[in-house]
Structure 1
Amino acid sequence: MRRRRRERRRLPPERLPLRTSRRHFRRGRGGGILGCVGSVQGDGMRRMMAGLAAATALSLAAQPAQAEIRALIVAVSKYTDPIPSLDGPPNDAGALKAVLEQQGSRDIVTLNDAAATRGSIRAALEALGQRAKPGDWVIFYYAGHGAQAKSRDPAEEDGLDEFMALSGFRVTRPDTEQYILDDDLRGWLTNFFPTSVNVLQIADACHSGTMNRSLAGPSVFRKRTLDNPLAISLPPRPADPAARAPAGLDPPNLVYVGAAQDDQFALEGPLPRSDSPPRGLLTYALEGALKDRRPNGRLAADQDDDGRLSLAELASTLETRTRELSATQQWSSAAVPARNERSVIFQPLKPPPADERPVEVKAADDQAAELLGERGPWASIPRGTPDLTWSAKEGWVTDSRGDRVAENLTSPEQLAGVINKRKALAQLAATANERRVRVEIGPKPKGQLYKSGEGVDLAVVHRGAASYLTAFNLAGDGTVQLLFPLEGDGDGKMVEGQTRVVMARTKAAPPFGVDNVVAVATPVEPTVLRAALKRMDGKREAMAAAGVVQDELAQAKGQAALGLGELYTAR
């Protein structure tokens, strides 16, 4: 990718909301209420302070000695033909339960497969509501198929209802015990839990949509959705007043995290490597967000580096992580009410041991097989599902997701560049803060392919304090390409508030494959970072580039931010 014209455009300051899904078993957005008190003097002030002290004492007496985490975990993997069964939900449920137990939770209810019915889930939620105390966190987690069906509600804009398809669900004759509509679940979460109890809903399931990009080969990922929603007609649900949420805005205590956007599938597959157990991408990303560390020992997802992983930070990092794991086939969605943006549920977990295994590569032809016999950061496997497949004769490399990640790649040195780029990208994705820095790539929708010579627009949207923008591209073979600032761009300073910087209007060019644009916003001009990137420009130095970016983020002590963007190029 090469720049050919530079232009900058600034937009006025503006507060940006967190990205939210249009509908993921919930409606609308939460909000908060702020109150203010005027000044009072003399006896009035003393009376007010005495009243506040008394009210505080009563409030403290009403609070539990210690807030608890309670959970209902629902995992459905066994379905009736022709609905495909899933492999990942049991592994996801087990992983989440282990996480919650490490957080000290002692009130965890699990419902699996046939035990998970509409009635049992409703009863379990109602019982949790009766046990929960003010200040507690209640987590409702679902892993399984999500789907859409024709709606009976004329208020549905697209004429479709989202629902959880439970074990035994049949498309032709649905049983009311074997599905739950998003509206019903929202009603239960609203009516069973007072606003003094916080609720986190996690759905590692599909809802709707189609993939934008054609894959070059078979992918190890499977969809968690049913096909052809218009063919599904659901019978009327049982009469249930508790399934109707009060009209108006979402309650301020309800936090939602979903696996995918409305127009995407949620995926499951072997993670972190091709020989690993199947996992849902969202749940795996959540686990990683609680384990992966910065060099200073704090969580990589702790974007302001204050030692606390807030819900807003967790929601932001899950989007980046699911997108990186799926190669933009999926990125999570979230709705975090204002009162809970700074809330903390999860404490850091013990970091995982370093994965010292070499990347597994399978040869697609005899030429690649011979070259893979040389020493390098790989292990050659003759069969099975590899991390990468290489055709040295034709020059392409595909990953386990089916994407062609590099072309014109005929030497072991180039293959090593692809492998090192994968490692560098994983490090960068763990520390991204796309609430502050977001990379925009157009004009095509995310994930679509750009052919050689087609125009590509690159821009960055920044929110926050005045910062300096530095950006570079990691090409498919790990080649570093400096994007911003170049000669004529000035110092790259962005004003406080919201700023949109158009970095380049360029064309897709070699080396083809998966390109990753890295944008870094720093509080002071990063002369060391820029000098290092300038030395690496045009070289396969992905790991070194990631290292200098990590150093810059560490020195900024939470005042810098990183954003990532992906595009796919081919001849």
Structure 2
Amino acid sequence: MVNDITDGPLRHLLLPALLAAWLFAPAAAAETRALVVGIDAYQHISPLHGAVADAQDIAAALRRAGVSDLTLRLDADATRERLTADWQALMDRAQPGDRLVFSFAGHGTQEPERIAGNEDDGKDEVLLLGGVSENGAGTRERIPDDELNQWFRDAAARGLDVLFVADSCHSGTLTRDIDPRAGQGSARYTAYSVSDDLLELDMPPAPSERDAGDLPGLTFLAAGQEHEQVPEVDLFDVDGRRARRGALSWAFARALEGAADRDSDGQLTREELNRFVRANVRAIADSRQTPNLLPVAADTRVVVPLAGASARSGPGSTALPQARLRIEGTDAASAAALLRDLSGTVPAAGPDAVDLVFDIRRREAVSGRGDILARDLDPTRPALQSVIDAWRGVERLKLERLGDRLSMRVFPDDGLHHRGRTIAFEIDDILLPYLVFFSLSGDGTVHFHYPFPGDPPTLPAGRPVRVEFQVTPPFGADHIIAVASDASLDQLAADLKAIDGRRAARQAIEAVLAITRQGRRQLGLQGLYTAP
């Protein structure tokens, strides 16, 4: 498996937890207290669309989990002065052994380090607030990682554990390029340069003084790896309405509802949180981001008690979502006729509110997240309908079995892979003995992969499955779908073999939904993107 990256943002906050014992024993009636921040309305840089919904969702989930001491700051209410005072007030109300949660959804960035030598790359990671600007009073509206470090050290000195969830990013690097036909997406990163900086911090004069202590009670959950740009994706708001969101915040809220509590003991540990958010965020965001939880030590440490939480098992219906469709590369009359003939779709309302784009002239299908799903596409109704069925099915599976996810990865990376390259995919965290997996191409073609005659009937628990292959036509997107079970999956395998090599996405998805909605099951989903 790929090792966690331990030298990423805010790494100086997360020194090895095993070097020193925690100074304060948890109180018998320890409480969880929270500061939750979401900012969409940036005054001087590009706005976001889902950070406020993220904060509202997390706040609601925390309250359902029994958190009563909670401060929610949105948009212009989330100023530097207020957040600093809010954190101090949380600490003042807390008792040794309490837990503090600080979640931030909004823009992040990098800027030259304030303390020479404290960052390997010479850059500080910074949270940006709504009034931030490159000059004048707005330069104060940001929180550097050095300052957060001091916040968390102040909490540690009082015997408080801290969970910091950062749904922002500090890199402009895309995992895969975004096709411009998908519209203008939004990401939680902005590049800027500060002139006439008015932000003054009372920082230690040298990094050795800052790093002198140990913070075993700090857990840091980042939305992506250091090199990844974090996109906003289409999910649902706290009322179940379709909305732009941050995948990490959405998954964290579901974890707080109990879906991540694998042993059902009412305690969310580092290990449970890490497994849950990594698998679900990667699936939801089409592998464009991989969350990072640090430190990797003390996995059984409880980060949030879940008193009163009740897990949502996912949507109660197997109905597939409607695809917002735009057709281009043909005349308006032909596009309108196609839209009338295709099922499971609604016309896209605008250039950015789109799930699928059919480019008739170029014979390509593009997802709303900017990936080419199918190339050399036959522009006929049956072929286009098959693409729609595949997209709808994959989107439905992203919301199934959230707490029973298989870990899925593509090696060497999640980028775009070209003809002739040798790549591999791996299925891990397999807890159940029976396994079936297949792939669904962007054009809706089903390819059965496992098991075939001669393959072992069951697998040892915990042993990963790895398959290598070369990239060959057709190019576009393939989704590897895996199901593990405590009972035989012979019927699922038979159903999938019967449609192997056919454009039968709807039948394949219905077969998977039918089997995963009963008994003990695990479900895995991994996208693979190829080009000539």
Decide: shared fold, TM above 0.5: yes
Deviations 1:492-538 (A, max 9, x none): 75555554x4423232322x322111234455664333223222312
Task: After superposing the two structures, state which structure 1 stretch, 518-527 or 325-334, moved more.
Answer: 518-527
Distance 1:127 1:100 in 2: 18
Tell whether the 8 Å contact from 2:325 to 2:357 is kept in structure 1 after alignment: yes
Deviation at 1:446, TM superposition (A): 1.1
- Aligned counterpart, 1:250: 215
- Aligned counterpart, 2:300: 339
Change (3 A) 1:561 1:283: same
Tell whether the 8 Å contact from 2:262 to 2:272 is kept in structure 1 after alignment: yes
Deviation at 1:466, TM superposition (A): 8.2
Q: Are residue 73 (structure 1) and residue 36 (structure 2) matched? A: yes
Change (3 A) 1:262 1:477: same
Q: Are residue 374 (structure 1) and residue 333 (structure 2) matched? A: no
Tell whether the 8 Å contact from 2:101 to 2:163 is kept in structure 1 after alignment: yes
Tell whether the 8 Å contact from 1:439 to 1:458 is kept in structure 2 after alignment: no
Indicate the percent of aligned positions where both proteins have the same amino acid: 28
Which of 154, 169, 183 is the matching residue for 2:117? 154
Tell whether the 8 Å contact from 1:480 to 1:538 is kept in structure 2 after alignment: yes
- Aligned counterpart, 1:387: 355
Deviations 1:321-373 (A, max 9, x none): 33333333223222364233686437236777868873222221244432222
- Aligned counterpart, 2:231: 267
- Aligned counterpart, 1:46: none
Change (3 A) 1:553 1:196: farther
SS at match of 2:191: coil
Q: Are residue 565 (structure 1) and residue 529 (structure 2) matched? A: no
Q: Any gaps of 5 or more consecutive residues in structure 1?
A: 1-15, 36-58, 292-297
Deviation at 1:211, TM superposition (A): 0.5
Deviation at 1:481, TM superposition (A): 0.6
Task: After superposing the two structures, state which structure 1 stretch, 477-486 or 306-315, moved more.
Answer: 306-315
- Aligned counterpart, 2:374: 406
Tell whether the 8 Å contact from 1:285 to 1:318 is kept in structure 2 after alignment: yes
Q: Give the RMSD, CA atoms, in angstroms.
A: 4.1
Tell whether the 8 Å contact from 1:522 to 1:561 is kept in structure 2 after alignment: yes
Distance 1:104 1:563 in 2: 31
Task: After superposing the two structures, state which structure 1 stretch, 264-273 or 364-373, moved more.
Answer: 264-273
SS at match of 1:192: helix
Change (3 A) 1:125 1:226: same
Partner amino acid for 1:509?
Answer: P
Deviations 1:53-104 (A, max 9, x none): xxxxxx99x522xx543211223344453x3233433333233333333334
Q: Are residue 225 (structure 1) and residue 189 (structure 2) matched? A: yes
Distance 1:353 1:360 in 2: 22
Which of 54, 64, 71 is the matching residue for 1:109? 71
Tell whether the 8 Å contact from 2:38 to 2:74 is kept in structure 1 after alignment: yes
Deviation at 1:154, TM superposition (A): 1.1
Deviation at 1:454, TM superposition (A): 2.6
Change (3 A) 1:456 1:431: farther
Tell whether the 8 Å contact from 1:69 to 1:136 is kept in structure 2 after alignment: yes
- Aligned counterpart, 1:166: 129
Q: Are residue 177 (structure 1) and residue 140 (structure 2) matched? A: yes
Alignment size in residue pairs: 511
Which of 459, 471, 480 is the matching residue for 2:425? 459
Partner amino acid for 1:182?
Answer: D
- Aligned counterpart, 1:322: 281
Which of 462, 468, 475 is the matching residue for 2:441? 475
Distance 1:316 1:386 in 2: 30
Distance 1:98 1:484 in 2: 41
Distance 2:466 2:391 in 1: 27
Tell whether the 8 Å contact from 2:236 to 2:244 is kept in structure 1 after alignment: no
- Aligned counterpart, 1:22: 7
Distance 2:311 2:426 in 1: 33
Tell whether the 8 Å contact from 2:267 to 2:302 is kept in structure 1 after alignment: no
Tell whether the 8 Å contact from 2:65 to 2:305 is kept in structure 1 after alignment: no
Tell whether the 8 Å contact from 2:172 to 2:229 is kept in structure 1 after alignment: yes
Distance 2:425 2:233 in 1: 32
Deviation at 1:382, TM superposition (A): 7.5
Deviation at 1:433, TM superposition (A): 8.0
Q: Are residue 213 (structure 1) and residue 198 (structure 2) matched? A: no
Change (3 A) 1:137 1:479: farther
Distance 2:403 2:473 in 1: 27
Which is higher, the Rg of structure 1 or of structure 2? 1
- Aligned counterpart, 1:89: 51
Q: Any gaps of 5 or more consecutive residues in structure 2?
A: none
Tell whether the 8 Å contact from 2:105 to 2:167 is kept in structure 1 after alignment: yes
SS at match of 1:386: coil
- Aligned counterpart, 1:51: none
Q: Are residue 424 (structure 1) and residue 386 (structure 2) matched? A: no
Distance 1:71 1:474 in 2: 42
SS at match of 2:524: strand
Partner amino acid for 1:420?
Answer: D
Tell whether the 8 Å contact from 2:279 to 2:406 is kept in structure 1 after alignment: no
Deviations 1:542-567 (A, max 9, x none): 3543454455556663xx54433222
Map residues 180-195 of structure 1 onto 2, 5 A cutoff.
180-193=143-156
Q: Are residue 509 (structure 1) and residue 473 (structure 2) matched? A: yes
Tell whether the 8 Å contact from 1:69 to 1:137 is kept in structure 2 after alignment: yes
Tell whether the 8 Å contact from 1:529 to 1:548 is kept in structure 2 after alignment: yes
Which of 244, 250, 271 is the matching residue for 1:284? 250
TM-score (norm 2): 0.80
Tell whether the 8 Å contact from 1:79 to 1:169 is kept in structure 2 after alignment: yes
Distance 2:129 2:326 in 1: 38
Change (3 A) 1:129 1:34: closer
Tell whether the 8 Å contact from 1:78 to 1:113 is kept in structure 2 after alignment: yes
- Aligned counterpart, 1:312: 271
Distance 2:122 2:15 in 1: 21
Change (3 A) 1:104 1:306: closer
Partner amino acid for 2:155?
Answer: F
Distance 2:154 2:303 in 1: 25
Change (3 A) 1:123 1:380: closer
Change (3 A) 1:363 1:219: closer
Deviation at 1:210, TM superposition (A): 0.4
- Aligned counterpart, 1:56: none
Partner amino acid for 1:23?
Answer: G
Deviation at 1:476, TM superposition (A): 0.5
Q: Are residue 538 (structure 1) and residue 497 (structure 2) matched? A: no
SS at match of 1:338: coil
Distance 2:204 2:513 in 1: 53
SS at match of 1:439: strand
